[in-house]
Amino acid sequence: PAADKTAEVVVLGGGPGGYTAAFRAADLGKKVILIERYPVIGGVCLNVGCIPSKALLHMSVILNETKDMAAHGISFAEPSIDLDKMRAYKNSVITKLTGGLAALAKQRKVEVVTGYGKFSSANTISVTAEDGSTQTISFEKAIIAAGSRVIKLPFIPHDDPRVMDSTDALELAEIPKRLLVIGGGIIGLEMAQVYDSLGSKVTIVELGDTIIPGADKDISRPLLKRIKSRYENVFLKSKVTHVEASEGGLVVSFEGKDCPTQDTFDRVLVAVGRTPNGKLIDAELAGVAVNDWGFIEVDERQQTNVPHIYAIGDIVGQPMLAHKAVHEGKVAAEVICGLPSAFTPMGIPSVAYTDPEVAWAGKTEDQLKAEGVEYEKGAFPWAASGRSLSIGRDEGLTKALFCAKTHRLLGAGIVGTNAGELIAEAMLAIEMGADMQDIGLTIHPHPTLSETLGFAAEMAEGTITDLI
Ligand code: FAD
């Protein structure tokens, strides 16, 4: 049958990867259709991920800081918390951004088709709208950007409203008295912090022997120390084996070294990771290979095994981060338009926007050790930074890892206030092949937290001065 619509480029999924690809392809002159199941574009990141979580974390840091100030002689009254207003603020941030995106799509004449898209052949996608109506879109090239979804656990009653995933947690339905967070990764820790600062008694349970498994332990340790002192419990090397919904609460069974065998919580947040949506789009009808985990494998041009079909973002693999999706989206659009682009970054920065923030870029020390790379290290403790002492937060650390032969920066890890902003300099240095002298000789403003990267480089060089 004839297609209802035709496009030179069709993009399946309107998250950060998808809209970036669609906009870039349109800017390069292509007729583009962007398919998104929800009425707004922006994907997980804008609607239920990066942005709403950061809006809430901003408020959480203010709550924490005002409390911490008591030790420095300024006491505030107990904060009064209006969840409806907090939620409205968070939603207003989302609406501004998604509204902006809709305008950007219109400006570029990117047609947004709302509905759930599935491949029906190697050159057609059929889109089913909420009312059940379907239309067929035929395309010359396709970019799959259908993202990921939360992982559910079989032994947890996910349909009980007291069991939350990250999307539910961002809704701030209530402040539970006792909250259990299953999973000590970035998303679990960020949401734990929001609820802790609002007054919940938080317990974290994590299978591994530390929080934030991707980061070096010395970089995550200051965060672990702080949350251990604030939260009701942090159980490492422990797991939840069952959750039973009862009238009095959620009865949770544990297995592990230091945890009880059973305890009852008012709410449970399940944050054990995300799984790609590769198996939900009938990719096989287009001949696109999807691996057992649901990921679509691509080369550095973002091309799948079917040459005119590309894939980007969470659906192609780890790390599942918005900035990775965005860069991959640009590459896919540019390759389609005949440009010599490829996704070959020297690293992808990761940030936990916790308090303190934990950030790393390039190789971790664990990775360098595992790969047998010879490296030199400069690790500058923030207890020696005038700026961090003056803001009352001296628990941070800036670590820079250099190639022993070339002295080039291979990786960096930062923990402390604003680490997420500070890591960008390290990422730039890695991309540009900067060595320890380049960084050490770069004059950083004093007193700033940014100086700590310069100091770490000087420590590696052995030329550190005593400037505080
Ligand atoms: P997605 O954002 O998942 O977008 C995919 C889109 O495709 C969705 O809009 C979906 O509705 C649509 N879709 C899927 N299937 C179909 C279909 N068949 N038909 C039509 N539409 C479809 N990353 C960061 O970098 N920084 C952060 O601070 C951060 N915080 C996060 C906090 C939370 C709570 C969560 C859950 C995630 C966070 N992430 C963060 C991860 C980030 O959101 C994702 O990496 C990013 O959104 C991936 O972009 P994407 O374009 O690949 O896919």
Amino acid identity, position 183: G
Residue-level pLDDT at 102:
95
How far are the Cα atoms of 12, 310, 341, 402 from residue 299, in angstroms, in the given order? Answer: 19, 9, 12, 28
Distance from C-alpha of 16 to C-alpha of 244, rounded to nearest angstrom = 37
> Which among 220, 194, 193 is positioned nearest to 208, based on CA atoms?
220
Distance from C-alpha of 385 to C-alpha of 445, rounded to nearest angstrom = 13
Amino acid identity, position 57: L
The packing angle between helices 186-198 and 217-230, to 10°, is 30
The mean pLDDT of 2-27, rounded to a whole number, is: 97
pTM across the whole model:
0.97
Q: Give the pairing type, strands 124-128 and 116-121.
A: antiparallel
Distance from C-alpha of 144 to C-alpha of 327, rounded to nearest angstrom = 14
CA of 55 to the centre of ligand 1 (A): 17
Evaluate if residue 297 carries a pLDDT over 70: yes
Read off the pLDDT of residues 299-339 as tens digits, 9 standing for 90 and up. 999 999 999 999 999 999 999 999 999 999 999 999 999 99
Helix residue ranges, H only, 136-185: 166-170
Distance from C-alpha of 208 to C-alpha of 211, rounded to nearest angstrom = 7
Q: What is the largest CA-CA distance in the chain?
A: 76
**Residues within 6 Å of ligand 1 by CB:** 12-18, 35-38, 43-45, 49-50, 53, 116-117, 145-148, 166, 187, 277, 281, 313-314, 320-323, 325, 353
Evaluate if residue 467 carries a pLDDT over 60: no
Residue-level pLDDT at 463:
84
Evaluate if residue 468 carries a pLDDT over 70: no
Question: Nearest residue CA, atom 52 of ligand 1?
Answer: 313
Best mutation site among 50, 277, 324 for ligand 1 pocket (most ligand atoms within 8 Å of CB): 50
When the pLDDT of each residue in the chain is averaged and rounded to a whole number, the result is 97
Phi, psi of 343 (to 5 degrees): -95, 95
CA of 123 to the centre of ligand 1 (A): 25
The mean pLDDT of 156-170, rounded to a whole number, is: 98
Burial (CB < 10 A; 0-12, 13-18, 19+), residue 447, is: middle
Q: What Rg value do the Cα atoms of the chain yield, rounded?
A: 24
Phi, psi of 347 (to 5 degrees): 170, 165
Read off the pLDDT of residues 388-437 as tens digits, 9 standing for 90 and up. 999 999 999 999 999 999 999 999 999 999 999 999 999 999 999 999 99
The mean pLDDT of 77-104, rounded to a whole number, is: 96
Read off the pLDDT of residues 196-251 as tens digits, 9 standing for 90 and up. 999 999 999 999 999 999 999 999 999 999 999 999 999 999 999 999 999 999 99
Question: Nearest residue CA, atom 35 of ligand 1?
Answer: 49
pLDDT category at 465 given cuts 50, 70, 90 is: low
Burial (CB < 10 A; 0-12, 13-18, 19+), residue 421, is: middle
Catalogue the active-site residues. Answer: 446
Read off the pLDDT of residues 176-185 as tens digits, 9 standing for 90 and up. 999 999 999 9
The mean pLDDT of 26-49, rounded to a whole number, is: 97
Amino acid identity, position 239: K
- The share of the chain scoring above pLDDT 90, in percent, equals 97
Binding site for NAD(+), residues? 183-190, 206, 273
Contacts of 219 (CB under 8 A, 6+ apart): 358, 360, 397, 399, 413, 414, 415
The mean pLDDT of 270-286, rounded to a whole number, is: 98
> Which among 180, 178, 236, 229 is positioned nearest to 212, based on CA atoms?
236
Residue-level pLDDT at 1:
66
CA of 277 to the centre of ligand 1 (A): 10
How far are the Cα atoms of 236, 300, 310, 371 from residue 212, in angstroms, in the given order? Answer: 11, 27, 31, 21
Number of Cβ atoms within 10 Å of the Cβ of 370? 10
CA of 249 to the centre of ligand 1 (A): 31
Distance from C-alpha of 442 to C-alpha of 57, rounded to nearest angstrom = 32
Distance from C-alpha of 343 to C-alpha of 301, rounded to nearest angstrom = 6
Read off the pLDDT of residues 255-264 as tens digits, 9 standing for 90 and up. 998 899 999 9
